[in-house]
A and B are shown apart, each in its own frame.
Chain A
Amino acid sequence: MSRLRLYLPADAAAIAVGADRVAAALRAAGAARGIAIDLVRTGTRGMVWLEPLLEAESAEGRIGFGPMRPADAEGVLAAILDGGTHAKALGPVVQIPFLREQTRLVFARCGITNPLSPEDYAAHGGWKGLARAKSLGAAATVEEIVASGLRGRGGAGFPTGIKWRTAAAAVGSPKYIVCNADEGDSGTFADRMVMEGDPFLLIEGMTIAGFAVGASQGYIYIRSEYPHAVAAMREAIRIAAREGALDGFALEVRVGAGAYVCGEETSLLDSLEGKRGMVRAKPPLPAIQGLWGKPTVINNVISLASVPWIMAEGAGAYRGFGLGRSRGTMPVQLAGNVRHGGLYECAFGVTLGELVQRVGGGTASGRPVRAVQVGGPLGAYFPPALFDTPFDYEAFAARDGLIGHGGVVVFDDTVDMARQARFAMEFCGLESCGKCTPCRIGSVRGVEVIDRLLAGVRPEAQRELLADLCHTMKYGSLCALGGFTPYPVMSALTHFPEDFVPRAGARMAAE
């Protein structure tokens, strides 16, 4: 029986749109033709609108077909085996503009390799970063990360190398590497894609971090909403340990329990310790007193997954991408009501408008874009008038926004911005750890004030009160949950004031 090798993602997003059913249909169609299908389940390329995206080897490289439905299996198989065209044919995958224009450093392997094949990982450049780190030594590895200009991709943008330097110099033993894989921001899935699509990359990054700062134990705290990532990471750790790739570095996955605030680093540490996820006051910094009071590096998945490339290719090469104080690449995640939703890794500096309109293709609904929320539930809503803002930490801050973890959620002109502002307050109230008053109480009052404003109860006074409340939350909260909730609220109020007017039917709810 002849064999045919095909590639189909097993990423959760691909599965959510039917990849497993497509896989079964392909096998059945192959059997009907007397062909054994060798179906490699990869990560996703990140072109989620084309998922399930099937790829077949050809003389011109891998040819894509998508979005596949089970009913397409027979016809697509015929097109692959007998030649000829098919309505779902996309041509060579790497020539699709969305993919071709990217700078894939972190996601270089994602969608190409079998995520759990150590042979694939090594054959595609894996473990080179760790080898170079070992040859440079621990201190030089830390300095290489400092020189690269890498800043934390979890949201705060703190220089990763500086954090490592602090932990390396801190007195205390053992030391820990904690990977923040809580990825709570709506509109983001880059961490998930790495963990499901290239888990050895994160393992290599954490092993380098452990070597650099002198830590022998690592934890990966993954949100419970990511069962596929949990399974992939656990299996990859088992394989890497078996292969002797970890060099004695012990790695363990821990699963969160649905609390958004546990993505905040100190709350995450409390959660790992088995407590409620209460935010800690800083100082002490986790790098000095973190998990169980010991020196701890806590980094986002993408920060750690950027490390192997930097170590393999050098800090200078990494610094060569980006602009100003935003160096390297950012995996931008286009989500919500967007035509070409997915992950787009590029150097910093591309404008928001290019991302939304050119790369993302505007809305999926075909209606005009009215607002985009950048940086998750704590990020600002930007109108198209601000689409010239370059993707850069400082440029967004200068416009009262943030890039956060790189999520861009697109809304069309049916969005009700007062409702989005109300949701931001409500979400803050729901997720507040309760330790500080501005966040715990301010969020509840915020919902009430917006309700009264919309009900027409002295609306001018409510607008003023809302701004005042946001000021208190911004400067009085212990962490960025209460501190940044004002971003979506105030940006909605500032850029879309026409939505904050009294409306019929709202009065009852507010009283």
Chain B
Amino acid sequence: MNPHAKLISTMSLIMGTSITMSSNHWILAWTGLEVNTLAIIPLISKSHHPRAIEAAIKYFLTQSTASALILFSSLTNAWSTGQWDITQLNNPTSCLLLTMAIAIKLGLVPFHFWFPEVLQGSSMTTALLLSTLMKLPPITLLFMSSQSLNPALLTTLAISSALVGGWMGLNQTQTRKILAFSSISHLGWMIAIIIYDPHLTILTFALYSLMTTTMFLSLTQIKVLKLSTMLISWTKTPMLNATMMLALLSLAGLPPLTGFMPKWLIIQELTKQGMTPTATTITLLSLLGLFFYLRLAYHSTIMLPPNSSNHMKLWRTNKASNTPTAILSTLSISLLPMTPLITTMF
């Protein structure tokens, strides 16, 4: 990509995210969302492959619809209450519209159909941005308006996202789609707790971003786009394979890895709030995700010769060593003992 275009896109992404996160007025927040949408379109369609163009169009249509709904929600709220402040969303219709709009933006069930397709059509780096950075502004808006939103609706969205994310991820063979469904499932956990403890949502999002970034960077380094390629990656980068397996298990929420922390805290908070059936349901549904993460981890690391592999072995990877991946892998595996410190930060 032209370096100037890349610079403009990157700066626009940062600017759009900053605008939305720092705004108190709905119009400014909407502006930031639109800047973000427009900035990422050239990144998604960079390769000009028909599937990449398709992904870019799908992304644009869904995000524009959601932005229009956000604007409409803020307008109806301003019309009925005279308030443009994001934290003063009092009109029930506005709250409903905003919830739907944020669900579309984030890819929550039942508005999740675009997310795996868009991720599959993008490159690994763009998919990473779509899964982490592009979710930050909508989560911020949800965080700021969480006290006005309908708890029953949010709980329904959360449980259905955990269910669909786990169920649909079961038979995926493309790594980006697997991570897309993992994202949907994790978003379910984040939304489940936002009414009761919004700071836990932010903590979950931060840790999810950490673990997902580790996975994406690891997969980019060994150029794994589908599962069968993962079988031969251990020959060239055995250490990366081992850390990738642990990062996968961390994403699954297995103790004593980092990913267990948000799940534990969310279950604890839900139980304290008397939402034990919700906590039980969402925990059981996360077992689906655990199943396919374990299967991935097994097939990538534990399946060793003399079984035959389907692919030519990788000659070389991108770089000999990758410092950010190493740091992020360490963090995504070993942060659980620091839970008391981390919870005070959020």
Do A and B associate with each other?
no
Chain B interface residues toward A at CB < 8 A: none
Chain A interface residues toward B at CB < 8 A: none
